[in-house]
Structure 1
Amino acid sequence: MTAETPHAAWRRDQPVIDMHTHIDPERLEEAIELMDRNGLEAMVDISAYTGEAFDEFVEATAEYPGRFGVFGGFEFEDFGEDGWLERELDRMDDAVAAGAVGFKIHKRMGLVYTDPDGSTVRVDDERLAPLFGRASELDVPIAFHTADPKAFFEPLEPENERWAELSENPDWWWGDREEHPYDWWQLIRQLETVIERHPETTFLGVHWGCAAEEVGYVADVMRENPNYIVDVSARLGEIGRHEAEFVREIFLEFQDRILFGTDLGVRDSLMLGAPQGFDPTHEQAEEFYDAHWRYFETDREGIAHPTPIQGDWTVDAIDLPRAVLEKFYVENAQRYLGV
């Protein structure tokens, strides 16, 4: 059932865009069904497909004009070798010509990708700069998923507040400094350096600027860098731990630069913000979206956030004005992504 909020009827008449999803091109009809059931006009896949996978997605979604967008990606396994840069710049040109709305750099940057000598590549490695320049020329954003929740860098033990989620996804633990030399703050600061160095490029910090535990810090980076935008995907549990009025004021201040996204996955199994160890139903997906509407559209206290496996706590809703919701749900994605 649809969440009863002051804006529920109005929202159903808006072309709401979920700009952070992951969709199997063979599950597009299911994605359409979920959109129609939850009052969404479009979904943007941000999986950062490359090669045949990108081509397959673009070809499949062409049958549903206006309902899907897609981010392109990069291939970094041979980063630093001859020919890498030219190949990736050509990839950008071809992807935008095919309809890509932006490009995403995965969290493996700074954690997994290595130079030919085996050293971990920093997020702010300036060999990436030509990609940012080309994105500016093509007028598309570069999305960064840098690091992960702070708890993923802390000891892997039952006392870790994200123990349940890490138990389901053990590959998401980054706490071994010998294998992953940069800690959470180092990675986040490297991303900040990228944003500051390239003011001509629009950067999208997914998952609330990759630092939802530090809502105020992300706002400070946005104040200093007008080229920085963020989405809220899969982070309401963390954002909502902050005082509601504090968060609300940040949304009001940056109402033109915050985008609605959920991290919904439409694949072999639905993913409601994170893999949760069970196969969600469409009814549970509706409750997942309803939890978002309640958080953004009401002033209720102590409500459930959308993805319980991400933390056993409640959040306080932020009651955004309708004019802000319209930008958040619709206009900002149209402006920055052209969807």
Structure 2
Amino acid sequence: MTTETNHAEWRRDQPVIDMHTHIGVDHLEEAIELMDRNGLETMVDISAYSGETFDEFVEAIADYPGRFGVFGGFEFEDFGEDGWLERELERMERAVEAGAVGFKIHKRMGLVYTDPEGDVVPVDDERLAPLFEKASELDVPIAFHTADPKAFFEPLTPENERYAELSENPDWWWGDHENHPYRWWELIRQLEKVISRHPETTFIGVHFGCAAEEVGYVADVMRDNPNYVVDVSARLPEIGRHDPAFVRDVFIEFQDRILFGTDLGVRETLMLGSPQGFDPTHEQAEAFYDAHWHYFETDEAEIDHPTPIQGDWTVDAIDLPREVLEKFYVTNAQRILGL
């Protein structure tokens, strides 16, 4: 993009929060540079660190008050074994005391993690319930990355519309149903069950409720469950394929429960929403953010989305009102994450 939006000057005066990023502990200065260059006040790392990695990250960001937040994570490799639950509940208490703004459950739940019997653990396994109850007690949200784009469950052939991305990330293909027994809709419905079973817990469905191809479905789940929040990270390519007037109406209806996030990765190699097979420059990262601003702040049609490797198509922008943008960029994250 080469032109600014009508909201650009206003936005630069806002403490914009990117609540879905992945930052290496040795790249905090670079993250600060990127924030300052792109008009952001805060980045939240949602990598779901645990153990020493979490401790090191929390210690490092303490030198930059107000600029970073962090989600804690769980360790599921020994899920269901004696002592596992007690250990993870204690982990939650320590992490919140250290400053964690929430906890994230990775997409490996429902796809990879197994129980002591060797069965893949479904997303709605009731053995997870104490974690959700604990989150409510601690007044922090649980973020879920469940499943992946629908195409990641389809045959891995050049005809797959996400073939380029899957070729770059072959371990993201879930079409082997012998090893990954749950299909896309099964996983999404499992997440819905979790949300409805625990109305006192705030859940964040990352990547637009993990179902950006089904915006209407996500809106229905949000209507039925006031405790459900979504972010938009790395899903503008999918959201933007829907009718812009319809998407705009959804954003306005749920203006208090949608969060701005990009899935930017600031590590050895910058990641612009998805590993892209090359090492982006800071200028390309600026264009990445610029594409987000244009999608949310203009009514332009057939524009480039931020992450070309996620699909070779254009999207239609949704031109959100400024009062909605303020909630989306800033105040929703402040309220829900306690930033």
TM-score of the superposed pair, with normalisation by structure 2: 0.99
Change (3 A) 1:2 1:88: farther
Q: Residue in 2 aligned with 1:169?
A: 169
**1:83: how far off?**
0.2
In 1, Cα distance between equivalents of 2:35 and 2:184 = 35
Q: Residue in 1 aligned with 2:21?
A: 21
User: What SS does the aligned partner of 1:92 have?
Assistant: helix
In 2, Cα distance between equivalents of 1:39 and 1:48 = 25
Q: Residue in 2 aligned with 1:237?
A: 237
In 2, Cα distance between equivalents of 1:92 and 1:121 = 21
Letter of the structure 1 residue corresponding to residue 171 of structure 2:
D
User: What SS does the aligned partner of 1:226 have?
Assistant: coil
User: What SS does the aligned partner of 1:148 have?
Assistant: coil
Letter of the structure 2 residue corresponding to residue 231 of structure 1:
D
In 1, Cα distance between equivalents of 2:130 and 2:21 = 27
Letter of the structure 1 residue corresponding to residue 205 of structure 2:
G
Q: Is the 8 A contact 1:44 1:71 kept in 2?
A: yes
In the alignment, does 2:299 pair up with 1:302? no
Q: Is the 8 A contact 1:199 1:227 kept in 2?
A: yes
In 2, Cα distance between equivalents of 1:290 and 1:247 = 20
In the alignment, does 2:207 pair up with 1:207? yes
Q: Residue in 2 aligned with 1:181?
A: 181
In 2, Cα distance between equivalents of 1:168 and 1:127 = 35
**1:204: how far off?**
0.2
Q: Is the 8 A contact 1:152 1:173 kept in 2?
A: yes
Q: Residue in 2 aligned with 1:275?
A: 275
Q: Residue in 2 aligned with 1:216?
A: 216
Q: Residue in 1 aligned with 2:43?
A: 43
In 1, Cα distance between equivalents of 2:321 and 2:282 = 29
In 1, Cα distance between equivalents of 2:2 and 2:245 = 25
Identity percentage of aligned residues: 84
In 1, Cα distance between equivalents of 2:290 and 2:230 = 21
In 1, Cα distance between equivalents of 2:108 and 2:135 = 20
In 1, Cα distance between equivalents of 2:140 and 2:64 = 22
Q: Residue in 2 aligned with 1:335?
A: 335
| Superposition pairs of residues 1-339 of structure 1, within 5 angstroms | 3-339=3-339
**1:117: how far off?**
1.2
Per-residue CA distance 1:42-79 (angstroms, 9 max, x = gap): 00000000000000000000000000000000000000
In 2, Cα distance between equivalents of 1:104 and 1:3 = 36
- Runs (4+) off by over 2 Å: none
In 2, Cα distance between equivalents of 1:117 and 1:199 = 30
**1:2: how far off?**
7.3
In 2, Cα distance between equivalents of 1:152 and 1:118 = 24
In 2, Cα distance between equivalents of 1:123 and 1:32 = 35
TM-score of the superposed pair, with normalisation by structure 1: 0.99
Per-residue CA distance 1:14-60 (angstroms, 9 max, x = gap): 00000000000100000000000000000000000000000000000
Question: What RMSD in Å do the two structures reach over aligned CA positions?
Answer: 0.7
Per-residue CA distance 1:232-279 (angstroms, 9 max, x = gap): 000000000000000000000000000000000000000000000000
User: What SS does the aligned partner of 1:268 have?
Assistant: coil
In 1, Cα distance between equivalents of 2:132 and 2:159 = 40
In 1, Cα distance between equivalents of 2:238 and 2:272 = 16
Q: Is the 8 A contact 1:3 1:290 kept in 2?
A: no
5+ residue gaps, structure 2: none
5+ residue gaps, structure 1: none
In 1, Cα distance between equivalents of 2:200 and 2:127 = 17
In 1, Cα distance between equivalents of 2:243 and 2:5 = 21
**1:8: how far off?**
0.3
Per-residue CA distance 1:165-208 (angstroms, 9 max, x = gap): 00000000000110100000000000000000000000000000
**1:116: how far off?**
1.0
Letter of the structure 2 residue corresponding to residue 179 of structure 1:
N
User: What SS does the aligned partner of 2:20 have?
Assistant: strand
**1:136: how far off?**
0.2
**1:280: how far off?**
0.2
**1:3: how far off?**
4.9
**1:338: how far off?**
1.0
In 1, Cα distance between equivalents of 2:143 and 2:316 = 28
